[in-house]
Amino acid sequence: MAWDTARTQQLLLDAAVEEFAEHGPEGARVARVATRAGINKERIYQYFGSKEKLFVAVLESELEKIAAAVPLTPEQAADLGDYAGRIFDYHRRHPHFVRLLAWEGLLCQDRVAAEGRRTDHYAEKIAVIAAAQKAGAVTDRVEAGQLMRAVIALTVSWFTLPQLARMLAPAVEQAGPDAERDALVALVRRLAT
């Protein structure tokens, strides 16, 4: 029987997503990834080389997924609140992604996964926002890159800092995720106009 390399790699990546999201790149264990995937841990070293390279592969895979799922087109840039809402929805369905980014930010600042490609990806989004600013659809009082950063930060804060929502906006937090999303969308719309 022929070995299905692509399937095996995908099983390992899927298992590694949860392991890294839960334990971070330092606390994650190759043996647990292999057990979750139902595959010999030696395959991890064969396909990825090391635990660190597996973490990079996981981040790259997850970044591609969100980029495909939540694009920012020139037409969509006119309503950054809606864009923030779509990012919120993605994170709600995929809570592991924010945790992966948080681990990367805490532990891997000097070795960011796919930094060049990510910088290019964000440059495209910044250019779209800058064009919307030039067209008068979005405020130009905030530089496009800072506006993009604010949208990302405001969105992920609902997932990375839920205790602040409980303390600062208890009525919204108690009303649930739909109310949180609505509050985010309204805030980003006010920020962007």
From 59, 65, 14, select the one nearest 39 (Cα to Cα).
Answer: 14
Asked whether 155 and 88 are in contact (CB, 8 A), the reply is: yes
pLDDT of residue 1: 42
Can you give the residue ranges of every domain in the chain? 1-58, 70-192
For 1-58, which CATH class?
mainly alpha
* Angle at 49 (CA atoms; ends 48, 53), nearest 5 degrees: 65
Query: Model's pTM, two decimal places?
Result: 0.92
End-to-end alpha carbon distance in the chain:
60
pLDDT of residue 3: 67
Spatial neighbors of 188 by CB under 8 A, at least 6 apart, are 80, 81, 83, 84, 150, 151, 154, 155
70-192 placed in CATH 1.10.357.10: yes
pLDDT of residue 4: 85
Q: Chunk the chain into consecutive blocks of 10 residues (it has 193) and report each block's average pLDDT, rounded to whole numbers.
A: 81 97 96 96 95 95 96 96 98 96 89 90 97 97 98 96 93 95 98 95
Question: Fold identical between 1-58 and 70-192?
Answer: no
